[in-house]
Amino acid sequence: MIPEIGEFSLILAFCFSILLAIVPMYGTIVKNELWMHYGQSMARAQFFFVMVSFICLGYAFATDDFSVAYVANHSNSQLPAQYKLSAIWGGHEGSLLLWALILTGWTLAVSIFSKDLPLDMLARVLSVMGMVSIGFILFLLLTSSPFERYLPRFPADGADLNPLLQDFGLIVHPPMLYMGYVGFSVAFAFAIAALLSGRLDAAWARWARPWTNVAWAFLAMGITLGSWWAYYELGWGGWWFWDPVENASLMPWLVGTALVHSLAATEKRGVFKSWTLLLAIFAFSLSLLGTFLVRSGVLTSVHAFASDPERGLFILIFLAITIGGSLTLFAIKVPNVQSESRFSWLSRETLILINNVFLTVMAMTVLLGTLYPLLVDALGGGKISVGPPYFNAVFVPIMSLMAIGLGISVTVRWRDTPLDRIIKAIWKPALASILIGAVFPFIYGSGFDFSVFLGIAISLWILLTISLEFISKFKHADSIFTKLKQLTMSYYGMMLAHAGVAVVAIGITLVSVYSEERDIRMVAGDKATVAGYEFEFKGVQKVQGANYTADRGQIIVRDGKNVISTLNPEKRHYSVKNNMMTEADIDQGFFRDLFVAMGEPLDGDAWAIRIHYKPFVRWLWYGGTLMALGGLVTVADKRYRRKKTIPATNEASHA
């Protein structure tokens, strides 16, 4: 009964999404305020019914209702309770329901927090979001219902959740990621609403900014969590593979980053209006494209969903309508008139434009590399692969150039900045970062290494320029505290996010160059030395887990004489699906991780043991978290809540 309520509730939600798409929009056409107002209650109803549906699926999981096919395929009576709940989004259908829940959740949030918006604008925004939900809920209902039953006979127990997903990572990573993907629908809806209304002043940018920043922050956090999860869970000790599914999340993030910046320019200076609109459309389009790539089976990925051409076709049609429609609208409605604002070569506008070029080109590079095998194949050129060597070769130079620009940008003002002032601000940090970058590989490593030089110099360059900029704020301040309070949240957010970029860059550089990795044959009592640490293998014992059995190794790590850690990597066997799993154990540290994983048992009681030394690997995720935090902090800016707006002067405009 409960699953049927879930399905029925989803159908009701679908009806409300249709009403939401039509009624308020129609209200704006016939100028009927009452109809426009309906948007808010429909957004509520839509969210409520998707929520009910979601709870019903959760109930089916919690009560082990294996007559529901989706539950039977993704759960098991032995599965620990927390994974039973996260298993809701452990497969295609349920994760799509989560997507719908988050989408209607964002719609609800817009209807609640945007009371200050002109009524017709809010009505249009909600309607556009309703149109997007129509697509997703219809997708669920037509091709991917999670409530389908195994009837008349259903299995006595479930097929179990993939062991790799039985982890904390599954609980937090997908919701975060989807918050980001779907969050871009808000900026998209604002852009479409602006195009429809023809009111293409800077106002829409101001309204869309906080929403975009939050979505961007969630996506950053989602990607960071995913990287961290893969690192500890998969046993390979790596953190990014340029797999199509990863790329699918990176593309909207890169374009989203461009959007965050160009929205700032549009809001503050009224420039790049059409471009910003286009970026808002792009960011969400790439989220949708990612959905297609992940769920249609056109590309091979280690972590693709079970592919189904029928689903692929549905999403493709949906893409054609949404993206094709909005790009057509864009081409027709964007006005030809350019804004009157003037800016010089040495202005923040110019640098934001360059930043946007780099980010967009990077996103296009990822898109090209991801789809190239498909393009070649479609043109009859056979099968080729595009993998990490390609992406690293093309991506890294472009990324480095951009990072150099980032350092300059913080010293540059809107409209115009005298050259001597820029030079005065940057020559010291430039010199210092080049010198320290050049010396660093000699001190930390064993000799000069160009990538270390480049990575360290660039990271320092960013850190130094933003620190000096920050300090310069206090030059004429009477009191540090007053000044600290005076600086806006947008400013702090920007500082945090930019510092995050530097921290990530340090992590990438050092872990890529100075990692050490050895696969060693060990019997109990054997010792091995990796990166100055001594690893003693004490042997293996059998342990019984909740729904698995495991061989658990014991490895004692010594730093000279002192024991610094005892690591217990496991080789698990999950009996339901007959799956083997490598559960690595990690001694975490601020400056380095020691990562140990167990391979196969070898002849003579020996085991293949993988030992990694990963310097600064955690900085990747620290940096990612800083970026996400930066994005969130900007939202606390009073400007977005105060009804009276602060006049935009040169000095007050930081972000």
288 binds other proteins per the rule CB under 8 A:
no
343 binds other proteins per the rule CB under 8 A:
yes
CB of 303 to other proteins, least distance (A): 4
* 458 contacts 403 by C-beta, under 8 angstroms: yes
Structure tokens at 513: 């160059």
Contacts for 63 with CB less than 8 Å, ≥ 6 apart:
none
CB of 320 to other proteins, least distance (A): 6
- Residue 427 exposed, middle or buried by CB count within 10 Å (0-12, 13-18, 19+): exposed
600 binds other proteins per the rule CB under 8 A:
yes
CB of 544 to other proteins, least distance (A): 19
* Window contacting other proteins (CB under 8 A); options: 55-63, 384-392, 419-427, 623-631: 384-392
Q: Which of residues 62-121 bind other proteins (CB under 8 A)?
A: 73-74, 89-92, 95, 116-118
Which one among 28, 53, 212, 227 touches other proteins, defined by CB under 8 A? 227
Task: Return the exposure string of 622-643: e unless at least 16 CB atoms fall within 10 Å of the residue's CB, then b.
Answer: bbbbbbbbbbbbbbebebbeee
Which one among 126, 221, 223, 633 touches other proteins, defined by CB under 8 A? 223
CB of 357 to other proteins, least distance (A): 4
428 binds other proteins per the rule CB under 8 A:
no
Alpha-carbon span 37 to 572, nearest angstrom: 56
29 binds other proteins per the rule CB under 8 A:
no
Maximum pairwise Cα distance, the chain: 83
Which one among 171, 386, 432, 438 touches other proteins, defined by CB under 8 A? 386
CB of 609 to other proteins, least distance (A): 7
* Window contacting other proteins (CB under 8 A); options: 133-141, 291-299, 467-475, 493-501: 291-299
Q: Which of residues 499-538 bind other proteins (CB under 8 A)?
A: 508, 512-513, 515, 517, 519-521
Minimum CB distance to other proteins smaller for 467 or for 554? 554
28 binds other proteins per the rule CB under 8 A:
no
Which one among 32, 341, 549, 568 touches other proteins, defined by CB under 8 A? 341
What φ, ψ does residue 184 adopt, rounded to 5°? -65, -15
CB of 637 to other proteins, least distance (A): 15
CB of 164 to other proteins, least distance (A): 6
What φ, ψ does residue 208 adopt, rounded to 5°? -80, -20
387 binds other proteins per the rule CB under 8 A:
yes
* 620 contacts 455 by C-beta, under 8 angstroms: no
Helix or strand run (H / E) with residue 284: helix 273-296
Tell me the per-residue interface mask from 544 to 583 with other proteins, x by CB under 8 A, - otherwise.
Answer: ---------------------------------x-xxxx-
Which one among 63, 77, 82, 344 touches other proteins, defined by CB under 8 A? 344
Minimum CB distance to other proteins smaller for 92 or for 592? 92
* Window contacting other proteins (CB under 8 A); options: 362-370, 428-436, 471-479, 551-559: 362-370
Q: Which residue's structure tokens are 């990077």?
A: 362
297 binds other proteins per the rule CB under 8 A:
yes
Which one among 85, 368, 434, 652 touches other proteins, defined by CB under 8 A? 368
Q: Which of residues 127-146 bind other proteins (CB under 8 A)?
A: none
306 binds other proteins per the rule CB under 8 A:
yes
* Window contacting other proteins (CB under 8 A); options: 231-239, 466-474, 477-485, 533-541: 231-239
* Window contacting other proteins (CB under 8 A); options: 20-28, 136-144, 238-246, 625-633: 238-246
- Judged by CB under 8 A, how many residues of this single chain contact other proteins? 146
Give the other-Cβ count within 10 Å of 237's Cβ.
23
Which one among 156, 331, 443, 471 touches other proteins, defined by CB under 8 A? 331
597 binds other proteins per the rule CB under 8 A:
yes
Minimum CB distance to other proteins smaller for 152 or for 380? 380
* Window contacting other proteins (CB under 8 A); options: 1-9, 292-300, 418-426, 628-636: 292-300
Return the half-sphere exposure (C-beta side, CA atoms, 13 A cut-off) of residue 183.
29
Which one among 62, 434, 608, 652 touches other proteins, defined by CB under 8 A? 608
Minimum CB distance to other proteins smaller for 29 or for 580? 580
CB of 3 to other proteins, least distance (A): 19
Eight-class DSSP state of 307: P
* Window contacting other proteins (CB under 8 A); options: 53-61, 201-209, 484-492, 623-631: 201-209
197 binds other proteins per the rule CB under 8 A:
no
First to last CA, the chain: 53
DSSP symbols for 210-226? HHHHHHHHHHHHHHHHH
What φ, ψ does residue 611 adopt, rounded to 5°? -120, 125
613 binds other proteins per the rule CB under 8 A:
no
Cis peptide before 152 (omega within 30 of 0): yes
Alpha-carbon span 316 to 322, nearest angstrom: 10
* 512 contacts 526 by C-beta, under 8 angstroms: no
| Vertex 305 angle, CA 302 and 310, to 5° | 135
Task: Return the exposure string of 2-35: e unless at least 16 CB atoms fall within 10 Å of the residue's CB, then b.
Answer: bbeebbebbebbbebbbbbbbbbbebbeeeeeeb
* Window contacting other proteins (CB under 8 A); options: 48-56, 332-340, 459-467, 495-503: 332-340
418 binds other proteins per the rule CB under 8 A:
no
Minimum CB distance to other proteins smaller for 336 or for 482? 336
DSSP E strands in 460-532: the ranges are 516-522, 527-530
31 binds other proteins per the rule CB under 8 A:
no
Alpha helix segments (H runs only) across 561-603: none
Task: Return the exposure string of 444-471: e unless at least 16 CB atoms fall within 10 Å of the residue's CB, then b.
Answer: eeeeebeebbbbbbbbbbbbbbbeebee
Which one among 170, 194, 220, 567 touches other proteins, defined by CB under 8 A? 170
* 52 contacts 9 by C-beta, under 8 angstroms: yes
Contacts for 262 with CB less than 8 Å, ≥ 6 apart:
272, 275, 276, 279, 352, 356
Structure tokens at 158: 């479930």
Q: How far from the centroid of its chain's Cα atoms is residue 424's Cα? A: 37
Alpha-carbon span 508 to 624, nearest angstrom: 12
Which one among 32, 67, 197, 451 touches other proteins, defined by CB under 8 A? 451
Q: Which of residues 251-270 bind other proteins (CB under 8 A)?
A: 270
Minimum CB distance to other proteins smaller for 32 or for 582? 582
